[in-house]
Amino acid sequence: MTDVRTQSSTTNKVLGYPLNVWYVAAWDKEVTRKPMSRKVAGRPLALYRTEGGKAVALADACWHRLAPLSMGKTLAKDQIQCPYHGIVYNSAGRCVSMPAQETINPSATVPSFPVVERHRYVWVWLGDPTKADPGLVPDMHQLDSPEWAGDGETIYAPCNFQLVLDNLMDLTHEEFIHSSSIGQEELSESDFTVTHDDGTVTVSRWMFNIDAPPFWLKNMRDKFPGFEGKVDRWQIITFRSPSVINIDVGVAKAGTGAFDGNRSQGVNGFVMNAITPESDKSCHYFWAFMRNYRLDSQLITTQLREGVHGVFGEDEAMLTAQAAIDANPDYEFYNLNIDAGGMWVRRLIERQLESEGRLIPLA
């Protein structure tokens, strides 16, 4: 189940972030004709839409005096105008107009980055553009599938993105941080398995014949009014390198075959998580809770979004509190059996950084 090496210690210095990958830059509804600013993997971006509705990501700095293009305005077709001296660029980042002169300096360009819109997100690729294969966008189809309903939000987390990955790969913390909603003793008492390949890590945990915690009891009663009794509960956490984690969660009436694939007597949700590094010590955490029952109920969608918002607010408080890491730069992290999934996540990120020649621990 676990590797004995997970009980060893490691430096608390976090790694950098890969660049030859797709990161979520924004929800699709956030990107409009009005430019917006968003820093991704250390790179400030100006995001906007062309008149035709195509999402664009340019470096957020004008060629002339580095003024933020996100403070500018969009013009005809695909153009954006610098707010400082009026220089105009197209969506490829090439200058198409300069004030007070007809001749355009051929070096007047700003970097433009590949963009893909998929699963309600705008994804951006900051690395080698020749490797920006849209087929590498992680599968998060539940977000826009007609067989699932739900909504989500964005958390700004003042910590390295890998701390959020650690948090999501080990859900035993629910017993202690989320005791009033989804936590219960069986989380620590139950066994789990960890599997992995070159790009994914999966942690699976099942709990049989237990009481449903408040969050899941409410969901069961949404589908089965007046439900009472024991349930079987599951958590199947799947990490896709370097920053997406989808969590298959749910409960079903005990002994009705959920473990063997028959979840008809239960409620099933997917917690969709995309964690985008902003800097070494901050990230944007895009999340949504999707369900496959009572799809027509906006009330349930709203209740679930607000409920999960409260749960994740507790996580946010703990992640922020981990500022103690900066105060103890020489301290080593010690790993328990429950960290097996998170350790494999770090190994995959290390391999990605190594393949890019960027495996340099951050101070």
Question: Beta strands 332-334 and 192-196: pairing type?
Answer: unpaired
Q: What's the CA gap between 172 and 189, in Å, rounded?
A: 9
DSSP collapsed to 3 states, the chain = CCCHHHHCEEECCCCCCCCCCEEEEEEHHHCCCCCEEEEECCEEEEEEECCCCCEEEEECCCCCCCCCHHHCEECCCCCEECCCCCCEECCCCEEEEECCECCCCCCCECCEECEEEECCEEEEECCCHHHCCHHHCCCCHHHCCCCCEEEEEEEEECCCHHHHHHHHHCHHHHHHHCCCCCCCCHHHHCCEEEEECCCEEEEEEEEEEECCCHHHHHHHHHHCCCCCCCEEEEEEEEEECCCEEEEEEEEEECCCCCCCCCCCCEEEEEEEEEEEEEECCEEEEEEEEEECCCCCCHHHHHHHHHHHHHHHHHHHHHHHHCCHHHHCCCCEEECCHHHHHHHHHHHHHHHHHHHCCCCCCCC
Question: Beta strands 192-196 and 149-157: pairing type?
Answer: unpaired
Encode pLDDT of 123-181 as tens digits: 999 999 999 999 999 999 999 999 999 999 999 988 889 888 988 888 665 544 554 55
Task: Give the relative orientation of helices 214-223 and 298-321 as an angle to the nearest 10 degrees.
Answer: 170
Q: pLDDT tens, position by position, for the chain (363 residues)? A: 334 334 444 444 556 889 999 999 999 999 999 999 999 999 999 999 999 999 999 999 999 999 999 999 999 989 999 999 999 999 999 999 998 888 999 999 999 999 999 999 999 999 999 999 999 999 999 999 999 999 999 999 888 898 889 888 886 655 445 545 564 556 666 678 899 999 999 999 999 999 998 889 999 999 999 999 999 999 999 999 899 999 999 999 999 999 999 999 999 999 999 999 999 889 999 999 999 999 999 999 999 898 888 776 676 666 666 555 666 566 566 565 556 777 888 889 989 999 998 775 544
Q: What's the CA gap between 329 and 326, in Å, rounded?
A: 6
CB 237 within 8 A of CB 168: yes
Q: What's the CA gap between 287 and 245, in Å, rounded?
A: 10
pTM of the model: 0.88
Q: How many CB atoms lie within 10 A of CB 298?
A: 9
Q: How many CB atoms lie within 10 A of CB 172?
A: 18
Q: What is the pLDDT of residue 166?
A: 86
252: CB partners within 8 A, 6+ apart? 231, 232, 258, 263, 264, 265, 266, 267
C-alpha distances in Å from residue 32, one per residue of 28, 80, 167, 327: 8, 12, 32, 40
CB 71 within 8 A of CB 58: no
